[in-house]
Every structure is written in C-alpha cells, then in structure tokens.
Amino acid sequence: MSVTVGGVLTETLFNSFGFKAFRYEQKAVIDNVLAGRDACVFWGTGYGKSLCYLMPALHLHKPVFVISPLISLMQDQVGKLNATVGEGVRQVAVFLGSAQKDPAKEYEALNGDYLFVYVSPEKMMSDGFLQRVRELSDTRGLSLIAVDEAHCVSEWGHDFRKDYRSLGALRKEVPGVPILATTATAVERVRSDLVTQLGLAKPFISRSSVDRSNFSISVQLVSKLELPPIPEGESTIVYVRTIAEVEKLTRLLGERALGYHGQMPPAERANTHNRFLDGRCQIAVATVAFGMGIDKPDVRRIIHYGTCKTLEEYYQQIGRAGRDGLSSICHMVCTDGDFVKFAGDFYTRNLDKAQKKSRLDSLEKLRKYVHDDKHCRRKLLMEYFGEVSKFARCNKCDNCKNRVGAMETRDFTLQASILLRAIGGAWKSKSKTREALSKDAKCLELRKREGKRRSSDFYLLFLHKLVSEGFVEKEIHTFENSGGYSITYEQYRVTRKGNQVLLGRASVSMYAPKAIVEEETRLDALKKEADEKLAAKREQDIQELCANGYSRALFPENEDIPEMFRFWNSLVKSYKQQANGREKQLFDLRDKLWAWRSYTAKNLRLAPSTVLSEELIIKIVYSRPTRLESLHEMGVRIAGAEMIIDIVAAWSKEHKIVEDTESDSGESEPISFPPGLQRSTKHTAPMASDAVWAKSLGRFMAGESIERIAMEQPKRPLQPATIAKHILTALDNGHLVDLSRLAQQFRPPSRKIWKQLSERDIDLDDPKVPIKPIMLSLLPSRFNADLPFQEKSEEQRGVEKELYSAISWYLSVERAGIEVNQSNKKRKIIDVSK
C-alpha cells in the first residue's frame, strides 16, 4: 500500500501497527526525539505514550532501551510486539531483568539484535551493563532511552525508588542519545524534579489532560467493608490491601476469580496474569502490584476494597480501566479508619522526613477526596494534578449523579448535637466515641428525639463533615508498642464553635449531599423520558446481539453500540427473513474465527481483543478476504493471520460458495490484461463526477485495495464486488483504470465465459442493455432459473453472482475497445459452465 498522507512516519505507523494517523501530540514528541532532543511526556493512561518511544526505533532502525519497574507489563509488551510488529516470525523485542532466564538474550540485545529492549532499572544500572549500552551506542547507535513511570525518579513522587534515582547517570554515560521520560501520575513539583534528576537538557514537554472522560467514578464510605456486586462477564480488578483479603475475596467470588499477591509462587502468579489477560478469568483479586503490570485494554471495572496510600496511587490504579476508550466503572469502598492505618509507622518508617511529609500530604488529599460529596470527582482529580477543568460537572461520577438539591442547605443541628455530645470536650478516640453513642444517656435521648433508627456508624460517618466545618478538631497521635512499631490513631474534641451548638446558641446548616434546583428536576424528567426510549432501543439491539451469540459484557452501560454490531444485526435479520438458513452459515464462520482467536490469544499470551476485535471479525465474515494483503489493509496485525485466509477458504468450500475447477484445456482460466493503465478508446476526455463510483476510483488509483475500500465506508460496509463495479463504471466514463491490478483482486470471466458472451447478440451501444436475460442464457442447465430467490441454493446464488460480474466485466471492457489476453496462470475460480 502507498501511504501519501503524513509522510514516511505515517507509513511506518500503518505498516507496523495498523493505525492510519497519530493521536494527540505523538507526532510532535517523535519529531523532537528524532531531532536528538530530550522529551517529557506527561500523559494520562490511554493516550499512547508507548508509541513515542517505539516509533523512533522503527523509523531509524536503531534499538531503544525502555526502562520500567513493571516487570509483567514489560513482558506483555515484548510478547505483543513480537506477535504484531514481528508477525510471530522474528523477535524484535526482548526483556532483560531478574525474570529473564536465558543469558543469551542479554548478549543478543547488547549486540543490537533487537529493536526494543525492555530493561528493569536494577539491570540497567548493574555492574558493566550501562558501559556496554554505551558501546552499543558508539558502534551501531541508539534511537533513544525511554524512562517509563518516571515519577519514580523523584523523592517527592508517590512511588519513589532508589534504583530510579541512579538513572541520572544515563545522561553522562550516553550523552548523545535522547532521553524520553514518561509518566501519567506526577504533580508539578515531581515533574520539575524528575527533569533535574535525569539531567534532561531543555526537554520538549508535552502534557495531556489527566481527565478520563470514559470513567464513571464513585466512592462509598462505610463502617464495615463489603464487596459490591460484580456483573457477569465484565473484566474486573479488585484491589485489596493484604494477602488475607486476597484469599478471602477469591473464596467469596468462587470460580470467576483468581488471586495475585507477592508471596504466591511465580507459576501461580503467571497463571493468574495469563488467564486474566486472555479472558479465561473474569476477576483478578490482587494487592497493588498487579494491574500496573498488565497490558489489557478492556478492563471494564476497578474496585478498591479499601483505600490507597496516596491520591497518585489511586489515580494510577483506576487508570488500568477502559484503556480501549469505552465506558468503565471505578468504585472505591472504604472506611475512614483506612487513612489512619496508612499514616502509621508501618507504611512510612522507611521514608525520610521530606518523603514522609509528601506521602502524608497526598494521603490527606485522598481522604478529603473520599469525603467530598459535593464536587465532581473528575474535576477534583484534575485540580490535584494542576489542571484547570473546563467543566463543573461530568454527570458521570457519584457526586454529579446525586447532585439533586446540591445548591440547597439543610439543618443538621440535631444530628450534629448527637455526635458532639458523644465526643465531649476532652480528647476522645473514635472507638470511645462509638461507645458513647450507644451508652451515653443524653446521646440516647437525642437519638430518640430524631425518631430515625440510625446506627452509631451513621453519626461517625458524619464526623469528617463536622471537622471540615470547624465544629470538631482532630489530632493524630502515635505511640510505640512492645514490638517496636508505632501505632497511629486519631482523637477528637469539640471546639468552641461546637459547644455553641450543644448550648443551643448555634445551628448547623450544611449543603445536602444530593441536591438540585426545581428546574433541573423538570429538565431531568424530560431527559429521562428521551433516555428511556433510547435505552429501550439499545436494549432491544443488545438482546438481538446476545441471541446471535455475543456477550452482554461487550456493550458497557451507557456506551453506544458500535455501528458494526448494528450492521451485523440488520444483516442477520435480513437473512432470517429470507428463511434460507444463510445466517447459520455466517454464524459458523464467525464461530470458527472465534475459536482461532481464542487459540491464538492463549498461545501468544494476549488478550483476545488484541488478536482480533469483534468489529474486525464481523468485517472478515462479511467480506471473506482471500488474500493476506486484504487482512493487512483491514488493520489485522497478528502472527498467524494467514490461517484466517485458510479458515475462510475452507468455510467457502464447505458451503459451496467457492468451487475449485481444474481444466487441462485452460478454458476455465480467467482472461487477463496487460500491465499499466487502460482507457476507453471511445472517450477523448474523462467525464467528471462526484458520484460514489468516482470516490472509489480515486481511492483505488491511490493504491487502496477494493476490499479495504469496501470495508471503510462512511456508514456501512459494501461488498468488494460493488467496488469493482464502481471501477468498471469509471472505465465506462473515460477514466484511466489499472485493469490488470483490478483483475488480481476481483476475478474477471473465464476464457470460456468470455467466448460465450462474445457469441451472444449483445447491443454494446445500448447503455441499458438487459443483463438478466444474458445471465439466464449462460446459467447451467442443472439450475432452475424460475426459483424464487429465497429458494435458490447457495451454490446457484454464487454462480449467478459470478455471471453478473462476468457480464459487467465484458460490457465495460468491450465498450471501451480494450483487447484482453486469452491466457493467464491458473487460479481458482467458479466454473459456471457446468
């Protein structure tokens, strides 16, 4: 294929990854790296950071060293690159680190045998390794060095690692090689520090929004952790804090779930990783190490069973969801006590004073985020990372969905008085406060007056609001237990402002957590009515798709059904109405492709959707490509793709859609055309047109195949035969056409059929010559021409289709006055003469 838009880089992009264009600022970053300039990429998950360091290596044919702390993720990416860019034939990527068991790989990598070398920071800075990297740079050259998860370099970062700190030596050891630093989770202070620590020289800096518009974020603050329901079929990661919780929840979830934690044997961890990646396992219950190291685009749900240590860690973990851009759910269920625990010595004792302060500051920001029930959660995350939000409400998070009455305040004086009474004027822990709520006589009297059966835990959840409004003050205390560990806990006491409430001299008025003005209620009612109609139609479509073999999990809630699935529905419905069983043949081919995809995904350790998306499978079933080039132009980039062609061919033969015919006489061989452009001898100049056929001609002459043109239409796909007819129409209208190339993609008539057509009395000057009588005159006698279309066999339909195509070829070529070659190399066609 010839790619003319976007230059050589765009051609490399398409040939290697099947993408037609760069996203966001990928091209700008790559251009700067190719010019030898350092760069920093501060992009959120899903923006395509990895292409920024993969493309220079492909363009320059020089290795890139990618440094990352995420071993499993690197191994996944190595496998993916070898299966796609390497097409399963050649090894283009390798991982070097403690998990690499083949010592020969390191020698090969340092000899320049791989384009993509993924390496752990420990390996990069090990004795003599960096020196050999410099030698490789001096001899063959490097395209760049990429430092992924670059926030680990900064001691101010939420995940500071000492091995990363030593990466500052890279600039000194390989001074002529550009360094690219990438991270999705760095506040401004960390961004500045990592530039300094890595010694980057006036780097090109690209920032994206940290906002993830496809996320529905929610937080549930509870007194006791309970795992929320997880729908069947949705790929889900459940993050927990301890190994005990991993084991508890995997038992609770049963066969749907597998566990993952650091003390599991490597083989068990690999089993969870691979089964979750290729879709055999729906739910992974894991401590925080998992998920950061998995390249799975279709994780639909992230559940935090307990809070995180920092706001950055939380953002990074929810970033594992929805990397395919489809709607995803991020839900945290936690207790307020989680924050006290993470502030303790067990989690902070290895940090110096500055790092500890940075960690605790971020933890407190996360706590405020969890307790905030008024502001948009996506907006809060953007503001934390220094980004100004262009919206006030996302209308997807829990706070936005529950904003009915948000501008109104309510009188919480009675509820506040109950809790203030339980706390009292002396410092009191939360456990002592809970005890007072259930035993103090005055508290019990006030609770009875409220008249609602609220648990003690309800009032404790109210505690943070009273602290933020100044009615209660909080202190954090630490003491050392007998084991030498520090125990951290919180104490509370009523402030002067709170005492005024207890004395009846002040009231407590606060924003209601879920409020909206009356007008918004009216508008919401109208919107609800419209949404219900759309939802009903969407549900009908989904039910039809499920009846046709698809999983409901493919269609996330609130996400539009992709047009290709709607096309599939209409196609199947049309065939069912014809009552000829043809839809079952389509299902059969689709099922065969599904089976091949599952087999390939398991062998290559890839997610099935990475091997072939559902939309691609529908395209293949509809167009039934016969050439590997056609698959390539559809965007298929996977090792073993040639087996798809074999599957389609075997299916076609099984259902008599294609017949193989051998003839010693050569009568069944197709006619051919001399190479080069041909034009009608009856037109002095081509007739201009903005018709559909003219657009097809333009794309065909630009190098696109008829299969690709057929699949990539503004609305719905067309059949390749329709595109071929467009090209022949262009010939009729005096345009230059490469008939030889067209004949390679869409078979012309056999010599025998061409001869039979030439013997017919056909008025070539009649632009509306009746075609059906000609077709019937050529139809073999074994077929009944009078049968209704619905009753015709698949074989007869195939023969008639071939004859119509043959007649189109004949009329266009003969009218144009172009001579044909009456011999060609043998190829498989339908011999319609029998």
- Cα–Cα dist 244/261, whole Å: 10
- Cα–Cα dist 211/208, whole Å: 9
- Cα–Cα dist 557/216, whole Å: 10
What fold, for 215-367? Answer: Rossmann fold (3.40.50)
Nearest-10 crossing angle of helices 430-439, 441-450 = 70
User: pLDDT over 70 for what percent of the chain?
Assistant: 88
pLDDT exceeds cutoff 80 at 419 = yes
Please give the average per-residue pLDDT across 493-514, as a whole number: 81
Q: Which of 32-36, 391-395, 463-467 has the highest mean pLDDT?
A: 32-36
In Å, what is the CA distance from 719 to each residue of 231, 622, 711, 811, 831? 38, 8, 8, 20, 21
| Identical fold, 215-367 and 562-654 | no
CATH number of 409-511: 1.10.10.10
- In which band, very low, low, confident or very high, does the pLDDT at 158 lie, cut at 50, 70 and 90? low
With b for 16 or more beta-carbon neighbours within 10 A and e for fewer, the 116-149 pattern comes to bbbbbbbbbbeeebbeebbebbeeeebbbbbbbb
pTM greater than 0.75 (yes/no): no
Q: Summarize pLDDT for 593-629 with one digit per residue, the tens.
A: 999 999 999 999 899 989 998 888 988 888 788 888 8
Task: Name, in order, each residue with C-beta under 8 angstroms of 269's C-beta and a sequence gap of 6 or more.
Answer: 260
Strands in 204-207's sheet, in edge-to-edge order, are 93-96, 116-119, 64-67, 144-147, 179-183, 39-42, 204-207
The pLDDT of residue 559? 75
The pLDDT of residue 156? 63
pLDDT exceeds cutoff 80 at 10 = yes
With b for 16 or more beta-carbon neighbours within 10 A and e for fewer, the 438-469 pattern comes to eebeebeebbeeeeeeeebebbbbbbbbbeeb
Q: Which is nearest to 92 in space by CA: 111, 110, 79?
A: 79
DSSP 196-219: HHTT--S-EEEE-----TTEEEEE
Task: Name, in order, each residue with C-beta under 8 angstroms of 378's C-beta and a sequence gap of 6 or more.
Answer: 211, 212, 213, 215, 217, 389, 394, 396, 397
For 700, phi then psi, to 5°, come to -65, -45
Q: Summarize pLDDT for 447-460 with one digit per residue, the tens.
A: 778 765 666 766 77
Tokens of 632: 């390539």
Lowest mean pLDDT among 15-29, 285-299, 398-412, 529-543: 398-412
For 480, phi then psi, to 5°, come to -100, 125
- In which band, very low, low, confident or very high, does the pLDDT at 235 lie, cut at 50, 70 and 90? very high
Please give the average per-residue pLDDT across 334-343, as a whole number: 84
Tokens of 101: 């068991």
Residue 732, sorted as left (phi over 0), alpha (psi -120 to 50) or beta, turns out to be: alpha
Domain boundaries, the chain: 7-207, 215-367, 409-511, 517-558, 562-654, 692-816
3-state secondary structure of 56: helix
pLDDT exceeds cutoff 60 at 524 = no
pLDDT exceeds cutoff 50 at 734 = yes
pLDDT exceeds cutoff 80 at 187 = yes
Torsion angle of the four alpha carbons 154, 157, 162, 167, in this order, in degrees rounded to the nearest 10: -40
pLDDT exceeds cutoff 70 at 406 = no
- Strands 409-411 and 509-511 turn out to be antiparallel
Assess if CATH 1.10.150 describes domain 562-654. yes
- Cα–Cα dist 815/804, whole Å: 16
CATH number of 7-207: 3.40.50.300
> Regarding predicted confidence, which is higher, 115 or 721?
115
Give, in degrees to the nearest 5, the angle at Cα 303 between 301 and 305. Answer: 170
Q: Summarize pLDDT for 199-221 with one digit per residue, the tens.
A: 998 999 999 888 999 999 999 88
pLDDT exceeds cutoff 80 at 267 = yes
